Structure 1
Amino acid sequence: MSTYIKEVNKENWREIAALEPAENQKEFIESIPFCLAESFIEALTTSLGLYAGDKPVGYAMVGFYFDEKKSIWFDRFMIDYHFQGKGYANQFIPLIEAYINEHYDVQIIRLSFVPGNDQAEQLYKKNGFVRTGENDPEGEIIMEKYL
């Protein structure tokens, strides 16, 4: 089944807003409706629907681009609990990186994760991200990847 990314817009926001993480992951990510509202209101980020065939299976947000640093944040990432364990996370990270390369002039992709979310850290390490030794203002651990 083909996987692809589609920017969230007025046609698909409802199906993306309905996505949910597994119960034990809810403490690690804001709700998708909150993320969509933040993205649409602040306009510093872009919300992305992650699709397998015609089904929405996940969500990501990218933004907070810094021209002088040539960096951007891969700010949110979640695969709906119905679709976890099928390899989608590892399929979508390269697609998100390709989306970033197509839309922004960047050399660094940064992200953060909540301490204790070992599953996320392992996923990001597997995809080439490394810890920076920094934490964001909320205490999340920052990782980055040089392109």
Structure 2
Amino acid sequence: MIHLKKIGAENIKECLALQVGEDQQRWVRSAAESLALAYVHQETAVPFAIYADEQMVGFVMLRRNKEFRNVLLWQFLIDRRYQARGYGKAAIRSVIEWVRQNTDYREIVVSCYEDNTNAIKLYRGLGFRDLGEPDPVHREIDFILQW
């Protein structure tokens, strides 16, 4: 069963060891870079380890946006050893549930590179809708899930 757990002294080393495949590194920051961002943005960033039962399989970081009253799915990765097992989809479902239970926001937004076809398929499959054409500079597609 997939669940989210806060990053702390007991699991930070394992989190820092998470890695995506070489061909995916251009799409996602490392857990170390993401945790540095979480430190800088402590008031809004919410980092979690993703667990399948007791095994850490990934990392996700949310960012609360009070101005737009939504949550940004800011960073997301499943370790290369655990990909293609349904953990990504289950993790995003856990994120959606966490947002519903722990905020009064009714919207999650996420961006991904237009050539990251697995991420696009994942978000669309979970009910996120495209917000238009890719950004011409960064080549990212924006998605939104509302309830």
Provide TM-score, normalisation by structure 1: 0.91
Distance in 2 between residues matched to 1:8 and 1:136, nearest whole Å = 35
Specify every segment of 5 or more residues in structure 1 that has no aligned partner in the other structure, as ranges: none
Report how many residues are paired: 145
Q: CA deviation at 1:80?
A: 0.4
Cα distance, 1:7–1:15 mapped onto 2, change above 3 Å = same
RMSD across aligned C-alpha pairs, in angstroms? Answer: 1.7
Structure 2 letter corresponding to 1:29: V
Q: CA deviation at 1:69?
A: 3.1
The 5 A counterparts of 1:78-117 are: 78-117=77-116
Q: CA deviation at 1:15?
A: 0.8
Distance in 1 between residues matched to 2:3 and 2:121, nearest whole Å = 23
Q: CA deviation at 1:73?
A: 0.3
The runs of at least 4 aligned residues of structure 1 exceeding 3 Å deviation read: 134-139
Cα distance, 1:70–1:29 mapped onto 2, change above 3 Å = same
* Residue equivalent to 1:57: 57
Cα distance, 1:32–1:137 mapped onto 2, change above 3 Å = farther
Specify every segment of 5 or more residues in structure 2 that has no aligned partner in the other structure, as ranges: none
Distance in 1 between residues matched to 2:29 and 2:68, nearest whole Å = 27
- The answer (yes or no) to whether the contact 1:112–1:136 under 8 Å persists in 2 is no
SS state of the match for residue 133, structure 1?
coil
Distance in 1 between residues matched to 2:48 and 2:114, nearest whole Å = 24
Identity %: 26
Q: CA deviation at 1:40?
A: 1.8
